[in-house]
Structure 1
Amino acid sequence: MATVPTAIHVEVLPARLGDCLLVECQRPDGTTWRMLVDGGPPDTWPLLEARLRRLDPGDRHIDVAVITHIDNDHIGGMLPFLASDLAADVGDFWFNGRPHLPVTGPDRPRSVDQGESLVAALRGSDGDPLAGGPAALASRTRALPWNAAFGGGPVDTGAAGGFVEVAVPGGPTVTVLSPTTKRLTRLADTWSKSLRAALGAPDRDVGLDVLGPLDDLEHLADTRTPQDSSVPNGSSIALLVEHRGASVVLGADAYGGVLAAALQGVARARGDETLSVDAFKLPHHGSEANVVAALLRAAPARHYLVSTNGDVFHHPDDAAVARVVLGAPAGPTLWFNYRTPRTERWADPRLVASHGHHVAFPDPGRADAGAVIDLPARR
Structure 2
Amino acid sequence: MEHMRLTFVNVGYGEAMVLECPDPARRNGQFVMVIDGGGNESAEFADRSGGRVPMAEYLTARGLDHIDVMVSTHIHEDHICGLLPLLERWTPRELWQTLPADFYRRTRPLGVPEGVTPSQSKFLRALNDYGTLCRLVEDRGGVIRTITAPLEETLCRDLSVRVLAPSLPREEELQELLEGVYAAEGEAFWPLLNQLDGKMNNFSLILRLDYRGTRLLLPGDTNCLGYGDIPAEALQADLFKVGHHGQRDGVSAQQLRAIAPRAVVCCASSDRRYNSADPGVLTMAAEGGARLYFSDCPPVPGAAEPLPPHHALEFTIGPGGVVEGRYLPL
- Report the TM-score range of the alignment, normalised by the length of the smaller protein: 0.7 to 0.9
Secondary structure of the residue aligned to 1:347 is coil
Structure 1 stretches of 5 or more lacking a match?
101-109, 148-153, 158-162, 204-228, 267-274, 350-359
Q: Which consecutive segments of 4 or more residues in structure 1 shift more than 3 A?
A: 43-46, 110-116, 120-126, 128-135, 192-197, 257-261
Within the candidate set 71, 80, 90, 2:76 is matched to 71
Q: Please name the residue that 2:96 is paired with.
A: 94
Give the 3 Å change call, closer, same or farther, for CA 302–135 of structure 1 in structure 2: same
Aligned residue pairs: how many?
Answer: 289
Q: Please name the residue that 1:300 is paired with.
A: 260
Q: Please name the residue that 1:214 is paired with.
A: none
CA displacement, residues 253-291 of structure 1 (integer Å, 9 cap, x when unaligned):
11335437435263xxxxxxxx54221111111122121
Q: Please name the residue that 2:36 is paired with.
A: 38
Amino acid aligned to 1:156: T
Say whether 1:337 aligns with 2:295: yes
Amino-acid identity (%): 21
Shift, 1:114, TM fit: 4.1
Give the 3 Å change call, closer, same or farther, for CA 249–194 of structure 1 in structure 2: farther
Shift, 1:231, TM fit: 1.3
CA displacement, residues 57-80 of structure 1 (integer Å, 9 cap, x when unaligned):
xx6221211111011111121122
Q: Please name the residue that 2:171 is paired with.
A: 184
Give the 3 Å change call, closer, same or farther, for CA 135–176 of structure 1 in structure 2: same
Amino acid aligned to 1:325: A
Secondary structure of the residue aligned to 1:69 is coil
Give the 3 Å change call, closer, same or farther, for CA 143–134 of structure 1 in structure 2: farther
Q: Please name the residue that 1:316 is paired with.
A: 277
Q: Please name the residue that 1:269 is paired with.
A: none
| Equivalent-residue separation in structure 1 for 2:284 and 2:181 (angstroms) | 30
With normalisation by structure 2, the TM-score equals 0.74
| Equivalent-residue separation in structure 2 for 1:91 and 1:262 (angstroms) | 29
Give the 3 Å change call, closer, same or farther, for CA 290–193 of structure 1 in structure 2: farther
Secondary structure of the residue aligned to 1:42 is coil
Give the 3 Å change call, closer, same or farther, for CA 155–111 of structure 1 in structure 2: closer
CA displacement, residues 297-354 of structure 1 (integer Å, 9 cap, x when unaligned):
221111000111145302111221122123x2x3x210012223x32x34149xxxxx
| Equivalent-residue separation in structure 2 for 1:190 and 1:135 (angstroms) | 19
| Equivalent-residue separation in structure 1 for 2:23 and 2:60 (angstroms) | 21
Secondary structure of the residue aligned to 1:372 is strand
| Equivalent-residue separation in structure 2 for 1:264 and 1:289 (angstroms) | 18
| Equivalent-residue separation in structure 1 for 2:11 and 2:181 (angstroms) | 22
| Equivalent-residue separation in structure 1 for 2:256 and 2:97 (angstroms) | 26
| Equivalent-residue separation in structure 2 for 1:49 and 1:9 (angstroms) | 18
With normalisation by structure 1, the TM-score equals 0.65
| Equivalent-residue separation in structure 1 for 2:218 and 2:286 (angstroms) | 19
Q: Please name the residue that 2:144 is paired with.
A: 146
Q: Please name the residue that 1:255 is paired with.
A: 223
Say whether 1:241 aligns with 2:212: no
Amino acid aligned to 2:85: P
Q: Please name the residue that 1:19 is paired with.
A: 15
Judging by fraction of residues, say which structure has more strand.
Answer: 2
CA displacement, residues 104-157 of structure 1 (integer Å, 9 cap, x when unaligned):
xxxxxx9654434xxx5478899x957857441457x4342111xxxxxx3211
* RMSD between aligned residues: 3.5
Secondary structure of the residue aligned to 2:73 is coil
Q: Please name the residue that 1:211 is paired with.
A: none
